Each structure stands twice: as structure tokens, then as C-alpha cells.
Amino acid sequence: MPLPRVALLIETSNAYARGLLGGVQAYIRENKPWSIYMAEQARGDEPPAWLKDWKGDGIIARIENAAVAKVITALALPTVDMSAGRIMPQLPCFEIDETAVGQMAADHFLERGFKNFAYCGDSRFVWSKRRGEAFAKALAAHGHTVHDYDAPQGTGKAVDDEMQSIRDWLQSLPKPVAIFCCYDIRGRLVLDACRNQAIAVPDRAAVLSVDNDELLCSLAYPPLSSIIPNAAGAGYQAAALLARMMAGQKPGAECRYLAPTGIITRQSTDVLAVDDAQVARAVQYIREHACQGICVDDVVAQCGISRRLLEGRFKKHIGRSPHEEITRVQVLRVQDLLANTDLQLIEIADRAGFKYVEYLSAVFKQKVGIPPGKYRAQHRPAKKVRD
């Protein structure tokens, strides 16, 4: 029996798209092989010439323009869309959960004590607008507003013009400010503008972006913090859905949203914008020792003030109690270990500072909304685990 012929119309020019391809590869590796057809292309390119007359069985595509949509419509093959543009809304699709991205960015800055916030988007992209709206909504729940910069990037001299525009925008922002950028390329541009204007990062401007392109983020100065989208999970689930569609299933036009898996914190946001020395010391101690099984009394001992006073100041500046902060850091550690390791839950409990697996499970479900096992299945679908 011939192998299924599948076209992958996904660019290889950015980290998110390569993550999608990695997820597809993982599905194929764990299941029956496919005969893959793909061309070297960039985001938004015209469809490859061979696609018009291609005799295949299914397509996974980032449908970014009318030309690609036209060819796919004519082929009338089972197709899964991976683009937020939704040019073909009749197709099933997988997207980043932008609400979760915006919330994660807001939480990242709020826990560092920032009071001023900004968003640097790119109006060419629907997902950039949604990301900015989600960020603003998450912060509005805490009584904060967001200063927006939203001019599209150009080419040639237009890039220089925009750089000057961003410099002017940065100078107008109240300091210290937490700046969320729609993706890593944008984040690097903001860091360059900060350096040009002698705005200290992260002390005067903390910068966070999305995609976690290891090369771009590590080459940035200072290294760029970035949110990790679940691209591999989206690719894996898209491949699994396409396999069912090629077998005759008709899933409809449902869009499935995948939450990001976490944040890689680098120097660009490694700061605490709190003018209370005891609170800053307490937060730093919790971040470094929460997964060692510490309690609030241990934190109090590091600060030289009473527990009651510390809890009052903590609530004022951070919006949580010391106990809630310890639990938050522990749960983040559990999420990371569930998504990125094969460790059994008993081992994860030990590494996150929980004495009992049962307590970990109860706390995790309360804070995250789903049990640890379900979280692992959603965020690490391409791996077989030992739980």
C-alpha cells in the first residue's frame, strides 16, 4: 500500500514554524510514515509551482495569502490550517491561545512589581493585534493601562524610519516600564532602540517577547526573555487530525487553541521593580528556594521584619501573600517538568518541593484548572511518558 502523500506548506524561516514541523515529524515517527512534499519558502510566499497539479492525499499549511488559498481550494484535499489569518475559515485549524499569551506576559511583569506597561506590536498580523489586546485586558484587571506602539515594519530606509519612531516612543514612556513585544524580531528591535537611547535594560525598561528563538534571543543584548509557544504540540496534533481526515473523518471548521508552555527568563526581564527592600529580598529568596520545601517562616527569617508586616507589604507590592508566591513558583516548576521531562509525578513532587504527590495534584488542579496528567498530555503530546 503506498504511503500517504502529504504536503507541508510551512516555512522554515522562523522558530515557531520549525516547531510546527518538528511536531509533525514527531507524529510521523511514532505512527505510520508519510511521503512528505515541501518547498523551501518564507512566510507569505506564493504557493510552490508543483502544488497546482500535485496528486496528494492531504495538506498541512500556513495559509497566509489568497494565492495559496486558491490552489488549496482547487485541490479539494483534506487540509489543516496553521495560520491565525483564517483566510479559509471552513478548514480546521490550530492556533496559539493569545489570551493565555497575554496573561502570561502580564503575570511575568506584575510579579516583578512593574506599574507602567507598553506593547510593541506589528499591525500586519492578526495575531499581533490579538496578543496586544489580551495583554491589555489582563493588565486592566489589575487597574493598569498599556502604552501601544503599533506601526508595521518596512524594508530598506523604512526600517531606519521605524527605528527612529520606536526611539521616540521609548523616550515618551514612563519609567521603569515593562515592554511586551509581539515576537522575538520585534523584541530585538526594541532592545537595539533602548541601547541607542541609553535606556538601561532591564532596570529602566524590561523587554519580553514571544517564540523563544534560541539563536535570536541569545544573540540579543542583553539576552531576550521570551514566551515559549507550544508549536511542537500544535504540529503533532495537526498531523494526528490530518491522519484522521485522510481516513475519512470530517472534523468541521473548529479552531483549536494551544496555550504557551512557559517563559525562558533571560537578562532582559531579570529585575524586580519594587522599591521595598524587604519585599525584593523576600521575592528573590522565594524564587531561589521555593522548590526546596521552604515555608513562610523561612522567608520571614531572611527579611528581618515581622510576618504580619511582611505579608502586608508583600500584598501591597506583589498582589499575593508570601505563601501564594511560594506555591506559584512551585507550580511553575511542576508545569516545566511535566512539559519538558519524562519524570514520574513522584519525582516531580520532590524536585518542586512537595512532600506528597497527592498534595501536589490537588494544588496543581486548583491553580491550573486541570490535573497534572492532562496538562502533560496537552503540552507534551509527542512524547511517551512513564507516569
Q: What is the mean pLDDT of the chain?
A: 90
pLDDT value of residue 157: 44
**Total number of residues shown for the chain:** 387
Higher pLDDT, 316 or 379: 316
E-strand stretches of the chain: 5-9, 35-37, 58-61, 79-81, 93-96, 117-120, 146-149, 177-181, 205-210, 225-228, 255-258, 262-264
Q: What is the pLDDT of residue 181?
A: 97
C-alpha 29, offset from chain centre: 25
**What distance in Å separates the CA atoms of residue 37 and residue 48, rounded to the nearest whole number?**
10
195-248 pLDDT per residue, tens? 999 998 998 999 999 999 999 999 999 999 999 999 999 999 999 999 999 999
| DSSP-derived 3-state class of residue 371 | coil
DSSP characters over 30-58: HS---EEE-----TTPPPPGGGTT---SE
If phi > 0 it is left, if psi is from -120 to 50 it is alpha, else beta; for residue 129 that is alpha
| DSSP assignments along 79-110, one per residue | EEE--TT-SSTTS-EEEE-HHHHHHHHHHHHH
pLDDT on residue 252 = 85
CA quadruple 96, 373, 353, 342: dihedral sign: negative
Q: Which tens digit of pLDDT belongs to each residue from 269-304?
A: 987 776 787 888 888 789 889 999 999 999 999 888
Q: What is the pLDDT of residue 178?
A: 97
- Is the pLDDT confidence value at 257 over 80? yes
- What is residue 158's predicted lDDT score, i.e. its pLDDT? 60
Is 90 exceeded by the pLDDT of residue 380? Answer: no
Is residue 359 scored above 60 in pLDDT? yes
Q: What's the distance, Cα to Cα, between the start and end of the chain in Å? A: 36
| Mean pLDDT (whole number) for 182-197 | 94
**Region 176-189 average pLDDT:** 96
Q: What is the side-by-side strand order in the sheet with 35-37? A: 35-37, 5-9, 58-61, 79-81, 93-96, 255-258
Nearest 10 degrees: CA dihedral of 260, 266, 268, 269? 60
Q: What pLDDT was estimated at residue 386?
A: 42
Query: What does the alpha-carbon distance between residue 8 and residue 19 come to, in Å, rounded to a whole number?
Result: 13
Question: Once rounded to an integer, what is the mean pLDDT over residues 326-333?
Answer: 91
> What pLDDT does residue 254 have?
87
Q: What is the mean pLDDT of residues 141-161?
A: 74
The residue-averaged pLDDT of 52-75 equals 95
d(CA 105, CA 117) in angstroms, rounded, equals 11
C-alpha cell at 149: 506602539
pLDDT given for residue 336 in this prediction: 84
Where do the domains of the chain lie, and which CATH numbers do they carry?
A: 5-96+231-259 (3.40.50.2300), 98-230+263-269 (3.40.50.2300), 277-377 (1.10.10.60)
Residue type, 88: M
* pLDDT on residue 234: 94
* Residue 87 Cα to chain centre, angstroms: 23
Q: What is the pLDDT of residue 155?
A: 41
C-alpha cell at 255: 479552531
